[in-house]
Amino acid sequence: MTSKTRQDTILSLFPDLQKFRLDQIQTALFDTSIHNWEKVSTLSKTVRQTLDEKVPWTSLRCAKTIKSKDYSTRKALLQTDDMLAIESVLMKNTRDQWTICVSTQVGCAMGCAFCATGKLGLSRNLNVDEIVDQVRFWQSQIKDDERISNIVVMGMGEPLMNYDNVRDAINLVLKYTDIGKTRITVSTVGIVPRMQQILTDPLWPHIRLAVSLHSVDPITRKRLMPSSTPTFLEDLATWAKEYLETFGNRRHHLTFEYLLLEGVNDSEEEAKKLARYVQKIGNVKVNLLIYNNTGDFNGPRTEKVVAFAEILQNANIDVTRRRSMGQDILAACGQLAQKIS
Ligand code: SF4
């Protein structure tokens, strides 16, 4: 594997490589018309030959892809060079824009009760190349006149448990693609120390953050998300106010994700409690997610979802309901589990 990145290898091969050459190499890696080192015409033949021999063009091998019945979603099973498997998803939204869902770890240690990935446990963090190469992979899969508009870092793994690699990968994507900062969302279960790090980290990109809340009752939240600490809800409220104060004027939308599970967190009372919690913090959007079946829970009926959303709207909270995509190929949120059948 893997801890040594492509850039580390290149710099060890060419210790005196000038910065602009490294820049040319990164530019070529994101150029969808180039598929191997031989075609990187900005580099000398000798450099190209050495790279060809010593540095793989990509860190991921595509083992399989499948498409949803309506062709809106594609899922890829990608293999790392140490033969571990991750899944990555491409989705077309109603405006015909492509969004990709990127994984950040092989498996996940967080053990969320509603999530197939959580059942796998954690094998390891993905390195910068393995995160970036999911973006490059999907770029290579769409037509020449199409582009990826959005990235959601919501695939396998908890991104903030792989903080440095996720941050560095996103910075590379921002630098070498035309995907803008407000088009990238990192979703976290809420790793408070890392969220605090974001507040002061000059290298953290000004992208959007989504925190998976799922309940404002500490016991229910702990049941759903075993990583939840006893003080999480207070810690999140304090952090969110600071985050909004620090970045709120820079279009740093903060979203709380709320996965509706029948009989668990979808009651009127829960909606009212959620409304009160969000009102105390301020300008936070709530995104209601409908459960994608992974076997352990049921999603609520549509009327229940509508009623839940109305309570929030009546409390002047900005509410969205995320369209679920790719359920028939187990590519929707919470369904990624290293298998494509
Ligand atoms: S929901 Fe996210 S953080 Fe929770 S187990 Fe699944 S992949 Fe991990």
175-233 pLDDT, tens digit per residue, is 999 999 999 999 999 999 999 999 999 999 999 999 999 999 999 999 999 999 999 99
> How, if at all, do strands 148-153 and 98-101 pair?
parallel
- What is the structure's pLDDT at 192? 97
Among 242, 243, 244, 274, smallest CA distance to 257 is for: 274
Q: Determine whether the shortest distance from the Cβ of 88 to ligand 1 is under 6 A.
A: no
Residue ranges making up the domain that contains 46: 6-54
Residue entry with tokens 């549509």: 302
Q: Determine whether the shortest distance from the Cβ of 157 to ligand 1 is under 6 A.
A: yes
Q: Are 113 and 76 part of one and the same domain?
A: yes
- pTM of this prediction? 0.94
Angle at 244 between CA 239 and CA 250, to 5 degrees: 140
Q: Are 117 and 236 part of one and the same domain?
A: yes
Q: Are 313 and 237 part of one and the same domain?
A: yes
pLDDT-flagged residues of the chain (< 70): 1-3, 249-252, 293-294, 323-341
Pocket test for ligand 1, best of 86, 89, 115, 124 (most atoms within 8 A of CB): 115
Q: Are 36 and 86 part of one and the same domain?
A: no
Q: Determine whether the shortest distance from the Cβ of 228 to ligand 1 is under 6 A.
A: no
- What is the structure's pLDDT at 19? 93
Q: Are 145 and 277 part of one and the same domain?
A: yes
Q: Are 47 and 10 part of one and the same domain?
A: yes
Q: Are 27 and 94 part of one and the same domain?
A: no
Residue range 92-131, pLDDT digits in tens: 987 889 999 999 999 999 999 999 888 889 999 999 999 9
**Does any domain span residue 340?**
no
Protein residue with least CA distance to atom 5, ligand 1: 118
- What is the structure's pLDDT at 71? 84
- What is the structure's pLDDT at 108? 96
User: In 30-177, which residue ranges form alpha helices assigned H by DSSP?
Assistant: 45-54, 128-141, 163-176
- What is the structure's pLDDT at 94? 79
C-alpha 5/C-alpha 339 separation (Å) is 26
Q: Determine whether the shortest distance from the Cβ of 5 to ligand 1 is under 6 A.
A: no
The set of catalytic residues is 87, 333
SS3 179: coil
| CA 131 to mean position of chain CA atoms | 10
CA of 299 to the centre of ligand 1 (A): 18
